[in-house]
Amino acid sequence: MLTDQYDFGMIGLGTMGRNLLLNMADHGVRGAGYDKDGDKGRLLEQEANGTAVKGFSDLQAFLDSLKQPRAIMMLVPAGKIVDEVIAELQPLLSKGDILIDGGNSYFKDTERRVAALEPQGLHFFGMGISGGEEGARRGPSMMPGGDKEAYRVMQPILEAIAAKVDHEPCVTYIGPGAAGHFVKMVHNGIEYGLMQLIAETYAFMKQGLGMDNEAIGNVFGEWNRGRLQSFLLEITASIFSYREKGADHLLLDDIRDEARAKGTGKWTSQIAMDLEAPIPTIDIAVSMRDLSKYKSLREQLSASFANAGRPAGDNREAQLAQLEQAFFGSMVMAYTQGLHLLAKGSDAFGYELDLAAIARIWRGGCIIRSAFLQDIYAAFTKDAQLPLLLADTAVAAQVTEAVPGWRKILGEAIASGLAMPAYAASLSYLDSISSAHMPTNLIQAQRDYFGAHTYEKVGSEGVFHTQWSQG
């Protein structure tokens, strides 16, 4: 029996779990991995190249191999499987053991699990991990929340394996309860928004400007060398150069235009509505993934409403400059909305989130990392109580500069029948959140008219009701 030999245990040896263990081994952490599929454990050992990593397919043997108190991470699909793994582990664990859920669990499920395991003396925390398989292997961004003492025990390991920016690890304690999974959920919502914006940018260049794939890829590559630098633009530029062996065209052109999702974007929209935090860029990104699945209906309707043509104007260089402005402004709105939701959630759930720290750890390793996160970090470092990212003068100045091109591009897209809903939602959000007067006084009058819901008056205290119908 290998008692007290391994420092850390991983349950679930898919790509993410395996790569995290290998990352730990590179930093001197002796890791044990468990998976019911013995082949995955053997693959782990093959890839370990002689480092102190071992795979197990027997759960008890795996647990016996870990140092006491045991530190174990689960990387299994979110939902009932997490509960099943916990139920299997509970009778085998001891007081003081640390159990980490590193998957994309819904934060309310994590709250429930924290409440159930804490009385048993088990230190449980949920940790969002971003960066995909490459991030797991070379350095992810990690968002641990929950048991603070358990985090402190794990802190040296997590800081060692995290991505580094300016020599700072992209991991920090997020907050109590399910704070880590809440922040990761919102991170993923922002990711949805950014991906939809990039897709609409692709459509504008391809359908609106008549650009070929090579030219489109060059634009994304050029943008990625400027203020728009980000992981998502980097991989997008790479996609526009990828051909399968022997193919004379991009793999992209063979991929169906029907997007899938795992639920984190939907959860973000749902909780935002509960908290009355407007996130229209993210909401429309979720909706467009759903809409994409109606492929046969879209094909049927395209015969009746085929109206996408070339936008007005023939100065491609000028239009691309305007498109860059429009993308920048829309990107800022996606981050702005996500951060506002984090602030609202922090107040509602008592997470005490540090938005500057969150922006700092998102600068490296994670899917939504970008040059602009440095601006976000600076804004919330300067003023931790900033009510909205757009209230920062430096950010506001950049957005204001982008607005003319943003409006021009959207006008051309609408005139040509080219759908850019995330761009439009982003600009409308800016126009609304910066409006001193909205037409919602009419909505209040309507509500009172048909339902006696009352309203408030300008310059008067109290609530009022009017008998609108004179009949």
Residue 219 in tokens: 């634009």
pLDDT at residue 224, as a whole number: 98
Per-residue pLDDT of the chain (471 residues; tens, 9 = 90+): 344 589 999 999 999 999 999 999 999 999 999 999 999 999 999 898 888 899 999 999 999 999 999 999 999 988 999 999 999 999 999 999 999 999 999 999 999 999 999 899 999 999 999 998 888 999 999 999 998 989 999 999 999 999 999 999 999 999 999 999 999 999 999 999 999 999 999 999 999 999 999 999 999 999 999 999 999 999 999 999 999 999 999 999 999 999 988 788 999 999 999 999 999 999 999 999 999 999 999 999 998 887 656 665 578 999 999 999 999 999 999 999 999 999 999 999 999 999 999 999 999 999 999 999 999 999 999 999 999 999 999 999 999 999 999 999 999 999 888 999 999 999 999 999 999 999 999 999 999 999 999 999 999 999 999 999 876
Domain 8-177 class in CATH: alpha beta
Residues known to be catalytic: 184, 191
Q: Which CATH architecture fits 184-433? A: Orthogonal Bundle (1.10)
What is residue 287's predicted lDDT score, i.e. its pLDDT? Answer: 97
Closest CA to 184 of 116, 271, 259: 271
Per-domain residue ranges of the chain: 8-177, 184-433, 439-471
Contact call for residues 10 and 72 (beta carbons, < 8 A): yes
Tokens of 301: 């309707």
Q: Are 271 and 345 in contact (CB under 8 A)?
A: yes
Q: By three-state DSSP, how is residue 193 classified? A: helix
pLDDT at 310: 64
DSSP string across 242-262: ---TT-SS-GGGGS-S-----
Go through 306-332 and write b for each residue having 16 or more CB atoms within 10 A of its CB, e for each that does not: eeeeebeeeeeeebbebbbbbbbbbbb
- In the prediction, which pLDDT does 261 show? 81
Question: What confidence score (pLDDT) does residue 52 get?
Answer: 87
Residue 1: what pLDDT?
39
- Terminal CA-CA length for the chain: 89
What's the pLDDT at 262?
Answer: 78
Element (H, E) at 190: helix 179-203
Give residue 2's pLDDT: 44
Strand blocks (E) in 301-349:
none
CA distance 284 to 282: 6
**Topology of the domain covering 439-471:** 1.20.5
Q: For the chain, what percentages of helix, strand and coil (3-state, to nearest 5) are there?
A: 55, 10, 35
pLDDT in the model for residue 3: 46
What pLDDT is attached to residue 308? 56
